[in-house]
């Protein structure tokens, strides 16, 4: 078993409000998966998995060498997938959850652009760490 330091597994600024929004989007995605029902198509489940991977990538984006355009695409997709799945969801609960997830993910997308203009406590700390605000 490899010795991985715990600091590498904990996200940067794990109690920042942007990080908490990431956690809420992840929990909402899990809620959509668990309440979708028995007759859920496999494509729906795969897309929910892609959503969870994108949220994780956005949460740990400062540990990955990535260009800003790819981060933008990841965060736009984080808003787009729940919006699309809200229309394709098999139950009313998952439709409502898709809308709530999209609303929670929208400020994350907005902070991609506004972090450099806001003071560091309000902006996304991952953007500052990547050095995009110079």
What are the tens digits of pLDDT across the range 9-23?
A: 889 889 999 999 999
Nearest to 80 by CA among 113, 56, 109, 43: 109
Q: Is residue 5 part of a domain?
A: no
Mean of pLDDT over the chain = 90
Q: What is the pLDDT of residues 67-81, one digit of tens each?
A: 889 999 999 999 999
Q: Is residue 3 part of a domain?
A: no
Number of domains composing the chain: 1
Residue ranges making up the domain that contains 105: 14-129
Sequence-separated contacts (24+) of 37-46 with Cβ below 8 Å: 37/90, 37/91, 39/90, 40/90, 44/85, 44/88, 44/89, 44/90
Q: Is residue 2 part of a domain?
A: no
CA atoms within a 13 Å half-sphere pointing along the CA-CB vector of 101: 32
- Residue with tokens 């590498």, as numbered in its chain: 8
Q: Is residue 134 part of a domain?
A: no
- pTM recorded for the entire structure: 0.92
């Amino acid at each position: 078993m490899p010795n991985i330091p715990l600091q590498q597994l904990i996200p940067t600024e794990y109690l920042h409000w942007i990080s908490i929004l990431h956690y809420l989007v992840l929990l909402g995605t899990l809620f959509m998966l668990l309440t979708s029902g028995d007759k859920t198509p496999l494509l729906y489940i795969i897309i929910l998995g892609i959503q969870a991977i994108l949220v994780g990538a956005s949460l740990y984006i400062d540990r990955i060498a990535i260009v800003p355009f790819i981060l933008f695409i990841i965060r736009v997709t984080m808003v787009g997938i729940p919006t699309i799945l809200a229309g394709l969801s098999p139950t009313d609960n998952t439709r409502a959850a898709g809308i709530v997830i999209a609303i929670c993910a929208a400020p994350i997308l907005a902070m991609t652009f506004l972090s450099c203009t806001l003071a560091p406590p309000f902006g996304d700390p991952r953007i500052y760490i990547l050095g995009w605000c110079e």
